[in-house]
Structure 1
Amino acid sequence: MASTVERTDEHVREYLIYRGFTSTLKHLDTEIKADKEKGFRVDKIIDQLQQLVHSFDLSGLKEYWLYLDRRLFCRLEDVYRSTVNKLRTSLYRYYVVNSIQVRNLDKTQEFFQKQALELQGQPEWRDWFILPFIPAPEQNSAFSPYFSRQWADTFLVSLHNFLSVLFQCMHILPFDAEVQRMTGITEENEELRQLLFALQTDSRDQRDGEETVHHKLPLYVQNMDRLGDTELDLVSSQRAISASTTPSRNFFSTFLPQGRRTPGKPTPVSSGSSPSQAAVGRKDTSSAQAAKPKEALQPKDSKAAGSQPSAGEVSSFQPQQSTNQNPRTKRIQDHEKERKELFSKPPQQVSPQTPERRAGEAGEAEPPPDVPGDAMEASCSGSGAAGAEGAALCAEQPFIKLSQEEYGEHHSSIMHCRVDCSGRRVASLDVDGVVKVWSFNPIMQTKATIMSKSPLLSLEWATKPDRLLLLGSGVGTVRLYDTDAKKNLYEMNIDETHPRILSLACSPSGSSFVCSAAALSRSGGAESAPRLPVPVSGQLLLWDTKTVKQQLQFSLEPEPVAINCTAFNHNGNLLVTGAADGVIRLFDMQQYESAMSWRAHDGEVYSVEFSYDENTVFSIGEDGKFIQWNIHRCGVKQSEQILPQDATGPFVLSGYSGYKQVQVPRGRLLAFDSEGQHVLTCSSYGGLIYRLTGGEPALERVLSLGGHKAPVVTVDWCSAVDCGTCLTASMDGKIKLSTLLAQKS
């Protein structure tokens, strides 16, 4: 009872603070301090009674007991009235005995004078009126038991137990049951989510195992169970063949305009459709064909013919549909009817400049300033005059943006934003050194706020257990923080000569982590200043998370240099790093030595990541290049593409009166989806999603997330469930969560 009342008081306080009712909050605090029930805490009530007894406040004692009787004891059944009377009698005797023990006879006589009318008719008090006149009552056989310590302790324990049982049986506020029910539901949902994730992972692994044959990788890589280059080409060709022969069964495609699905093909009309519906279908088809020349529609028709059933097949299947209709089929037909009526409305007028502007946008890596970042999505959701060209563009989109939410608890530019391996929590770090740990499922809620006297420069989630967070500072320390208990577990002193902890990477096994430490820059260590031409010195260290001790220091050839980014492969046997001297180094974590290194970029390396098959490494550098490297052939490029400056940094935010903020990249600049076929990058107005083509150009833009008013400086992609969540963090402290649905073909 006490815990529920205290929890309720806290909720009320938070609500009043949120609403700004400060005067009401002051009155609430005042009344809570003067609360006679003490928040239904038994220990507080016993303390209050003892304080009144020891201070000889007889009127206050009577008044307080009368309040408890009116408020609590009167709710009891009549059979418990005798117990309440016995406790009251013992309380008064406790008062009288205490006054005699401290030799305060005036208070003893005062008690009998004031209580004479009330007590003289009660048999249990008949012998007590002589008590003030006995020289040594503690030696009298009739009163000596009451002067023992054992009687006083027994009375207080009995009163304590009686009140405890009373409060447990009272159901004034059924908050305990509600809290237990919500806790049980939350735990059940978490177990079901974990089970769903495990089933999806097993299904994906089983599908990959059936489609591919694993090949043997180099000797220095052990237990590598990803796909190889040859197998990936085979799988890609098989997926392309199956996509061209198998009709799509995506449920969400029924909610999209007709142009999003196979364009240029008339919609088959079932036997149960009315003539008006058939006319509507012919009208949609004729308008789509009229929007594009006949020559351009021919390849579309041939492609659609390969993915749609023939007219004979449709007609042969119609009688079975009409005879075996169930409620679900009827609902689908009704929905199809409503959709056709909705999209049969006359198209909106579009200015003549729209096709040219859309064509220019499709050929640019970044939209012009007068075109918003969501122009592509807007053109896909429209119908009518946009024609078959917009429909064909939308049909190739691999994702649907279901929603976009904003987390705005930060008040300065974001440096890092990472999702834990389970997809339940997000940790974000801003340039002021404030870390926010928050969740977005089922609701967006801040779980913990971490503030430090020393500046924080990096963060990384531990893998086992995933509730732990590694925080790297600018004074040469790394903290291990428990996000559930909201406290620091350890604080490790890394190196005083290299105080800036630039990067952290935890091994998939969870037994160790890699720490990149760098010396102070010549500009005084300012993170927002441009990089120096000469890279500063640095170290790459391996620490044991169980013993909290340094295991070894990696050799950085040709000279010690600051490591900007680090990443493990799936089993922790390989570690790839990108340094300030533009060199990518690949380390064998079984031998703890460098396997290979090569000059990758003109300038610093900002981000490195393994590919899905882990046969290549992707990197983004200061020279603005996005490069794919073959790890089996040192320094060999597989693809290369120039990215816009707003995707690689330095990031610039301009304001009024000539204000300008410059920030060098610190967090991840690229993130892959669960299958490694698409990559998310930064831009000045939101995240951009590209498809990896494997040729020239290396990237093909497919979706713009948009939503930001300041440059995006770091990204992450959570694919723990089917509906992946893209995180894009910007210089104004805003973090956008875009929920995507993959369109399977």
Structure 2
Amino acid sequence: MGSAVERTDEHVREYLIYRGFTNTLKHLDNEIKADKEKGFRVDKIIDQLLQFIQSFDLSGLKEYWLYLDRRLFCRLEDVYRSTVNKLRTSLYRYYVINTIQKGNLEKTQEFFQKQALELQGQAEWRDWFILPFIPAPEQNPAFSPYFSRQWSDTFLVSLHNFLSVLFQCMPQPVLLSFDAEVQKTTSLTEENEQLCQMVFALQGESRDQKDGDEMVHHKLPAYVQNMDRLEDTELDLVSSQRVVSTSTPSRNFFSTFLPQGRRTPGKTPQSTAGSSPNQGALGRKEPLTNQAAKSKEAAAPKEVKPVPCQSSTSEPVNSQSQAGHQPAQQQPTHLRHKRIQDHEKERKELFSKPPAQFPQTAEKKGEASDAEAPAEACIDVPDSSAHTRTSGGVGEGGGLSAEQPFIKLSQEEYGEHHSSIMHCRVDCSGRRVASLDVDGVIKVWSFNPIMQTKATIMSKSPLLSLEWATKPDRLLLLGSGVGTVRLYDTDAKKNLYEMNIDETHPRILSLACSPSGSSFVCSAAALSRSGSVESVPRLPIPVSGQLLLWDTKTVKQQLQFSLEPEPVAINCTAFNHNGNLLVTGAADGVIRLFDMQRYESAMSWRAHEGEVYSVEFSYDENTVFSIGEDGKFIQWNIHRCGVKQSEQLLPQDATGPFILSGYSGYKQVQVPRGRLFAFDSEGQHVLTCSSSGGLIYRLTNGDPALESVLSLGGHKAPVVTVDWCSAVDCGTCLTASMDGKIKLSTLLAQKS
């Protein structure tokens, strides 16, 4: 990171000089010289600390460490605070040991006098106050390890590694990543050029091989393969055949469609052909002779007799080659026209047959060799492959259409729950998943690199909702059915706080944490529905409820939102990217949009007939999507109150209530609790529930508003909640069902 900072500074200097901002350049140079972070160079920071220690500058050492703590260490999570304290303790001990080793006992006593108030209450410093009064502390068993070279080197390496990792994990500005992007682009360009050269080389080899195949397309006869042992008479024969071959077509185009079995009937494997140019000449002449025999074989396959293994050419040619030159020159000329006619006839027969009849034709021939089938199928490849691409689509066959936006790479199952899932959410970093079932059991688990349960949370009181905190993302908000919200640390596996919300509205239906992490919204509802969390028919009168804002740092309630026209239970809540807007869906079918800077309702409109089950902002945050009890998936324009941009009617298995039937009339019904739909990272596709797995739709601007593109499948029970994690390279879709199974489908987006 330090080298990137230096190069970025040079780029900024160059820009300021180019723009003529000389005063700004002077201020920049002065601030760089006085930079206490040393351009994020760890070696320079440690050198500065050692300089203070060597010069016995205790005040400078303390001031510099406090600056690093305010600038860097305070941004770390609480779990790293103990590490920072240990490094500070070791740094002060390193200073004290240095004063004793240099024989400056005055500075040793000065250290304990100035730091007495700060250190006397710390257990690790309790025994160190006697250090100035020990005659030979380096020989004392309690202090001798600190005087060794091993301890000092270990401390400096630990400090160096800690700062290096800290700088690597710090969020970098866009300008600072410019150098890395340039290097990445350069490496990609070089790699692209290398790949292009490889492609050109492979194309050249392919052309050379193709030319060689055209020269020696068929296997040569035995007497040409053994050309090194030919006598003068046979060499003259080859030369004369080359003259004839130059005056006749070297290779008929239609011969490329003939099977290999017809080109060399009864041919046994021979040794590799020689490299003499005359081989190519004879190789062009030999197919004509072979194809005549093959055309006869195709016309009357039962009368064909195997040819002797000594030669792959027809018997007349062999006898003529043994008799003399002239017959070998006359025989191809005599048969040439007949062979061309046979080839033309066979080509017409092959192309006149429909693709579906090729296998039947091969079966009718009966006596035809097995080598003929691949050649006939080869002619049919273009049509059949085109049919496969068209009809494959995204069906069960697994074929992918040309416009398929995602490829399902894998699908894993998490089966630690034993009852129906209510909520299943991925944290902001995409590392952990929290899932809640109807029995009140919460599982916190990871799926990368392996699926592993990190924590199990069981509660005496029923749990109805959960939400990940944004900062730090290891915290989990848990809403109960008795009016409490717990803040749970998934790393330490313990409750940090428990907040009492409202006794008159004990059911915590929804939780949403602000992107800033400083507050969260809590929806509390009254106990007007009897029974458990399973579905009960909707009451004519909406349930009373409250919408509260809580501060996560002070753990105190900040305010209560006004719900017009009457207090009603809020089923779902969602913030926009910066937390300035909050959208809610209520049991009265109304969507309310709140301005979180003024903490008041900006607009509200009736969105659905019945309850609003799930609501989310669009990718550009100009619209809001919602799913309601009426089974509709609607897009609303937030700049024009109550104006629909699109509407789509979804099946019941996507909107609920969800029904799971069993033997002997068993039926389990569950109203929606968790998220019913989730968007991909670009907001162009949406994942919804279904009876057998998640369904992915493409958002369109026309009618219909949704276009089905992929079915994830994998479930045997209805899916009741979904989530789509795009924090990693490959998007992960989570689908949770009523049998307690959660499927993780890893998708690869295909860029068009």
- Report the TM-score, using the length of structure 2 for normalisation: 0.51
* 2:569 counterpart letter in structure 1: A
What is the 5 A alignment of 1:376-415? 376=395, 378-380=397-399, 394-415=401-422
- 2:624 and 2:730 mapped to 1: Cα distance? 26
Q: SS at the partner of 1:380?
A: coil
- Within the candidate set 600, 608, 617, 1:610 is matched to 617
1:743 maps to 750
Which of 645, 659, 665 is matched with 2:652 structurally? 645
In 1, Cα distance between equivalents of 2:175 and 2:464: 35
Whether the aligned pair in 2 keeps the contact of 1:433 and 1:452 (CA below 8 Å) is: yes
> Using the alignment, how far apart are the partners of 1:665 and 1:200 within structure 2?
45
Distance 1:272 1:689, change over 3 A: farther
Residues 427, 435 of structure 1: 8 Å contact kept: yes
Task: State whether residues 377 and 704 of structure 1, in contact with CA within 8 Å, keep that contact through their aligned partners in structure 2.
Answer: no
2:589/2:612 contact within 8 Å kept: yes
Q: 1:657 offset after TM fit, Å?
A: 1.1
Residue 515, structure 1, aligned to residue 522, structure 2? yes
- The equivalences for 1:616-631 within 5 A come to 616-631=623-638
Instruction: Give the aligned residue type for 2:678.
Output: A
Residue in 1 that maps onto 2:663? 656
User: Equivalents in 2 of 1:282, 1:446: separation in Å?
Assistant: 60
Instruction: Work out whether 1:443 is the aligned partner of 2:450.
Output: yes
447 and 269 in structure 1: CA distance in 2 versus 1, 3 angstrom threshold: same
- Which residue does the alignment assign to 2:223? none
1:682 to 676, 689, 699: 689
Residues 124-166 of structure 1 deviation map (CA, whole Å, 9 limit, x = unaligned): xxxxxxxxxxxxxxxxxxxxxxxxxxxxxxxxxxxx99xx9xx
Q: Give runs of aligned pairs for residues 118-137 of structure 1, distance below 5 A.
A: none
Cα distance in structure 1, aligned partners of 2:584 and 2:397:
40
Distance change >3 Å, CA 626–CA 290, structure 1 → 2: farther
| Aligned Cα root-mean-square deviation (Å) | 4.3
Q: Which residue of 2 aligns with 1:538?
A: 545
**C-alpha displacement at 1:694, in angstroms?**
1.6
Match of 1:271 among 204, 207, 216: 207
| CA distance 1:398–1:425, shift in 2 (3 Å) | same
Alpha-carbon spacing, 1:495–1:195, altered in 2? closer, same or farther (3 Å): closer
Matched residues in 2 for 1:200 and 1:426: separation?
33
**Secondary structure, in 3 states, of the residue corresponding to 2:455?**
strand
Partners of 1:268 and 1:558 in 2: how far apart? 77
Asked if 1 retains the 8 angstrom alpha-carbon contact of 2:615 and 2:626, the reply is: yes
Deviation of 1:200 after TM superposition, in Å, equals 14
After superposition, the Cα gap between the structure-2 partners of 1:522 and 1:609, relative to the gap in structure 1 and judged at 3 Å, is: closer
Unmatched 5+ residue regions in structure 1?
1-159, 165-183, 207-248, 250-266, 293-339, 363-374, 382-393
What does 1:418-497 correspond to in 2, within 5 Å?
418-497=425-504
Shift of 1:574: 0.2
Q: Would the alpha carbon gap of residues 282 and 560 (structure 1) be closer, same or farther in structure 2, given more than 3 Å must change?
A: farther
Q: Can you list the C-alpha shifts for 1:602-641, whole angstroms capped at 9, x where unaligned?
A: 0100000000000000000000000000000000000000
Q: Deviations over 1:180-216 (max 9, x none)?
A: xxxx99x98x9989989x999989xx9xxxxxxxxxx
Where does residue 726 of structure 2 map in the other structure?
Answer: 719
- The yes-or-no answer on 1:695 pairing with 2:702 is yes
Residue 25 of structure 2 is matched in structure 1 by none
Cα offset for 1:272?
A: 5.3
Q: For residue 207 of structure 2, what is the amino acid of its counterpart?
A: S
State the alpha-carbon separation in 1 of the partners of residues 692 and 167 from structure 2: 38
Alignment size in residue pairs? 424
Partner of 2:275: none
Distance in 2, Cα, partners of 1:705 & 1:652: 20
Shift of 1:528: 3.0
Closer, same or farther: CA 712–282 of 1 in aligned 2, 3 Å? farther
Aligned-partner Cα distance in 2 for 1:635–1:560: 20
1:453, 1:720 → 2: CA distance? 34
Distance 1:645 1:282, change over 3 A: farther
Aligned partner of 2:594 in structure 1 is 587
Structure 2: distance between partners of 1:687 and 1:201: 40
Contact 1:530 1:650 (C-alpha < 8 Å) held by counterparts = no
* Equivalent-residue separation in structure 1 for 2:658 and 2:534 (angstroms): 12
Q: Structure 1 residues 615 and 269 mapped into 2: Cα distance closer, same or farther (>3 Å)? A: farther
Aligned to 2:313: none
Identify which of 558, 561, 564 aligns with 2:571. Answer: 564
Which one has the largest radius of gyration? 2
What corresponds to 2:641 in structure 1?
Answer: 634
2:638 is matched by which residue type in structure 1? I
Superposed, 1:127-526 pairs within 5 Å as 270-271=206-207, 274=210, 376=395, 378-380=397-399, 394-524=401-531, 526=533
SS in 1 for 2:609: coil
Secondary structure of 1:647's counterpart equals helix
1:97 aligns to what?
Answer: none
The 3-state SS of whatever aligns with 1:657 is helix
State the partner residue of 1:11.
Answer: none
Structure-2 change in CA distance of 1:509 and 1:501 (3 Å): same
CA contact (8 A) 2:647 2:705 kept: yes
Deviations 1:502-529 (A, max 9, x none): 0000000000000000001243454432
Cα distance per residue 1:312-362 (max 9 Å; x no partner): xxxxxxxxxxxxxxxxxxxxxxxxxxxx99x97998xx9xxx99xx98x98
Q: Distance in 2 between matches of 1:618 and 1:681?
A: 12
Cα distance, 1:282–1:467 mapped onto 2, change above 3 Å: farther
Match of 1:704 among 687, 711, 721: 711
Deviations 1:553-605 (CA, angstroms, capped at 9, x unpaired): 00101110000000000000000000000000000001100000000000100
Sequence identity percentage: 81
* Residue in structure 2 matched with residue 89 of structure 1 by the alignment: none
Change over 3 Å in CA distance of 1:195–1:573 after alignment to 2: closer
For residue 531 of structure 1, report the CA deviation from its aligned partner. Answer: 2.5
Q: Please tell me whether the aligned partners of residues 514 and 540 of structure 1 are also in contact (alpha carbons under 8 angstroms).
A: yes
- Deviation of 1:673 after TM superposition, in Å, equals 0.5
